[in-house]
Structure 1
Amino acid sequence: MSLSIVACALLLTALASSQFVDGFYTSIFAFGDSLSDTGNYISLTSDGVLQYDGIPSCSVLPYGETFFHHPTGRCSDGRLIIDFIAEHYGLPLLPPYSGGGNANPGGGVNFAVVGAPALRDDVLEANGSYSRDNISMMSQINMFKSLLPSICKTSSCDEIFEKSLIVFGPFGGDDYASAILSKRVEDALRLRPLVINAVASAIEELIKLGVVNLMVPGMLPDGCMGVSLTVYYGSNEEDYDPITDCLTWLNEFAQKHNELLRKELTRIQQHYPNVFITYADYYNAGLQLFLSPEKYGFNNETGLIACCGSGGPYNVNDDAKCGYPSSHACNDPSSYIEWDGAHLTQAAYRWIAKGLLSGLYTYPNITAPSSSTSAMGM
């Protein structure tokens, strides 16, 4: 065989491999909380399944104003990270499952719900007028199980899952939030190993169902979020990072959560060598925006200030949240990193998704083919 023929064959192989990787996933199934919910919460609330006081979260304008021009249940002005992931693989935006059992699983389904905890209420020792067990991590997995007969109707589950990506999480933020925002940090520390163990067990349950491709996100830099900064406003100067002005100790809490999660992912990967697990580093992908806002097109003066709110040092007021009549949204959400103090703008989510899908913030690289099942190198 001549050198030119060999070179041509190698080139065709490389091109085919690249096309295979870029278009590998034919469906995506998502689990998580408000960072991933594409409409489950708004549907469950309207059906009376969830009873929350005040305006249903993320269900009124200006939520959704930038891209959809109406609220969809997404907690942002537009698309979320999961939306950009779906678009990257040429798939439709994931429809919410909404617990109805009528979802078309052709291109995937989203089970994520605003406020979803990793732990059950009895573990969280939750107090309140409603239960979150029916939207919890395990509840979402049970919804996934109930959909399996529809998912595997025309092909075997193994064949479907070979070309499906499971985006699992992030989970944990809603477990910690009540304690941290009530200044009960010790309670949050107590919950952390329980959350990590629960997430690890859930991942192994999915693997036993036949899932082979998983992306597992870590926590965002919560010390930079306006809601946390508002609660702890006026803390000692040494509590803040001198570059970002984020709460150092809270970012360290998130980093420790992520470190423990990665250790569990490494353990699971070693136990299931034929499964491809990638860790999505939401923390560092998001932190870059706060470190260098102008580099990514954001207004340096509003790096920690919410676009939508009703005043205060970070434009966050728990008595008049985004969407309440007394709140207002900024004129240009694309110049802001934070949308409502608890969630980011579409523009910020786009940058995070770009970092993940480029492989810069996924370990191992998400662009690697699923046959690459070596240890995660953590």
Structure 2
Amino acid sequence: MSFACFLVVLIVFSNDRLVHASGCYTSIISFGDSLADTGNLKGLATIADELYPCLLPPYGESFANQPTGRCSNGRLIIDFLAFEQGVNYAVAGATALSASFLEAKWTEKSVNNASLQTQLSWFQKSLPSICGNTSACRDYIGRSLFLIGEIGGNDYNYPLLVGKPIEEAESYVPLVIDTIFSTINEVIDMGAQTLVVPGNFPIGCSSSYLTTRAFLNEERDPSTGCLIQLNEFAEYHNQMLQSRLNEIRELHPNVIIMYGDYFNAAMQFYRSPPEFGFTNGVLKACCGGGGPYNYNTEARCGYEPATACDEPDTYANWDGVHLTEAAYKVIFKGLFEGTFTKPEFRSVCHASESQVNIGSSSAM
């Protein structure tokens, strides 16, 4: 908890502003893992005197021409949202479940102590420095857009990436969903009015899983090359999450809760790579240490002798686990400009913006 203040990273988003969501909300509050971490692990690792691949070149080469702490060659989904202010509590490697729970299950693993509940605690403790008194903070929270995740992927990685049966990871799903459910309810109790809650990606298309689970000879989708059972597992998580979100909507009918369909937003380019400019494919990593999918646990991106491709925008996969900026941009557009949020973000945002304009006019 001594790192709480340090980990509050104020984020100013890029000039490539595709969705001017700042016209609908005053700020964004983000929780999650490496899919949303814009630099928190970098600060934490500096304190802890540890080194992580995402903090080394060639990470960040397409954005700041240096590592920024983002686990990609460039920007993430959150970077394309047009906010001039916000606070990001996401940390690469974070889990939904507590580190103590997972370490008890996996004694040989050291789990990042930045779980979803820990991030929520950081948020609660940092509020006085952000917005002042209780009344002002409740107003600030109510005018902010909350991004709750994606979270839970790392909880499943522990058993799955070492070849354990999918059934073992499935036993974690209700616990992960309960944790997300609890966090959503807590931020709503604090005054949150608008939330985006993403589901899981089609992990069966990940270079890391295609490589590390190859010995299991699991069935692959002939149209995409992705592992069928792993994608079905991701959909199981997503279906359970959506069911619980419906429960929350019934409990809080005046709160807008959008499900972010990361799975199908990503499946667009797994099904039709050339349509989205991925002429070098979507399953093979741009940065890696060789092998059929350019993913090698002994030579991960950032460490020698791994190398990066010359044209990362023509790849969907960056390092075997994370995607390229180009892939994240496609997913962003599908979510925030397209139809892959339920209800659609663009309609919710426009309605919110209209209410703000009406309120401003009447105040005059």
TM-score of the pair, normalised by structure 2: 0.86
| Separation (CA, whole Å) in 2 of partners of 1:369 and 1:282 | 18
Q: Tell me the equivalent position of 2:209.
A: 228
Q: Tell me the equivalent position of 1:116.
A: 94
Q: Tell me the equivalent position of 1:295.
A: 275
Cα gap change, 1:84 to 1:324, in 2 (>3 Å)? same
Q: Tell me the equivalent position of 1:206.
A: 187
Question: Aligned match of 2:131 in 148, 152, 155?
Answer: 152
| Separation (CA, whole Å) in 2 of partners of 1:169 and 1:129 | 22
* Per-residue Cα deviation, 1:154-201 (whole angstroms, up to 9, x for no partner): 871232123210101011100000101112223201111111111111
| Structure 1 residue 126 corresponds to structure 2 residue 122 | no
* Equivalent AA in structure 2 for residue 83 of structure 1: D
* Per-residue Cα deviation, 1:281-324 (whole angstroms, up to 9, x for no partner): 0000001111000001111x522000000100100000110000
Question: Aligned match of 1:182 in 162, 172, 175?
Answer: 162
The answer to whether the 8 A contact 2:258-2:343 is kept is yes
* Per-residue Cα deviation, 1:298-356 (whole angstroms, up to 9, x for no partner): 11x52200000010010000011000021100000000000001000000000100011
Gaps of 5+ in 1: 1-18, 93-106, 374-378
Q: Tell me the equivalent position of 1:16.
A: none
Question: Aligned match of 1:264 in 207, 222, 244?
Answer: 244
* Equivalent AA in structure 2 for residue 358 of structure 1: E
The answer to whether the 8 A contact 1:67-1:78 is kept is yes
* Equivalent AA in structure 2 for residue 192 of structure 1: V
* SS of alignment partner, residue 171 of structure 2: helix
Cα gap change, 1:298 to 1:370, in 2 (>3 Å)? closer
| Structure 1 residue 275 corresponds to structure 2 residue 255 | yes
| Separation (CA, whole Å) in 2 of partners of 1:131 and 1:224 | 24
CA RMSD, 1 decimal:
2.0
Q: Tell me the equivalent position of 1:361.
A: 340
| Structure 1 residue 252 corresponds to structure 2 residue 250 | no
* SS of alignment partner, residue 122 of structure 1: helix
Q: Tell me the equivalent position of 1:69.
A: 65
The answer to whether the 8 A contact 1:21-1:369 is kept is no
Query: What percent of counterpart residues are identical?
Result: 45
| Separation (CA, whole Å) in 1 of partners of 2:294 and 2:21 | 42
Q: Residues 299-378 of structure 1 correspond to what in structure 2 (within 5 A)?
A: 299=279, 301-369=280-348
The answer to whether the 8 A contact 2:53-2:303 is kept is no
Gaps of 5+ in 2: 1-18, 353-364
Q: Tell me the equivalent position of 1:82.
A: 78
Structure 1 segments, 4+ long, off by >3 Å, are 19-22, 128-131, 369-373
Q: Tell me the equivalent position of 1:59.
A: 55
* SS of alignment partner, residue 165 of structure 1: strand
Greater C-alpha radius of gyration: 1
| Separation (CA, whole Å) in 1 of partners of 2:319 and 2:71 | 8
* Equivalent AA in structure 1 for residue 28 of structure 2: I
Question: Aligned match of 1:168 in 148, 156, 159?
Answer: 148
The answer to whether the 8 A contact 1:276-1:370 is kept is no
* Equivalent AA in structure 1 for residue 272 of structure 2: S
* Per-residue Cα deviation, 1:137-160 (whole angstroms, up to 9, x for no partner): 111000000111122228712321
The answer to whether the 8 A contact 1:31-1:110 is kept is yes
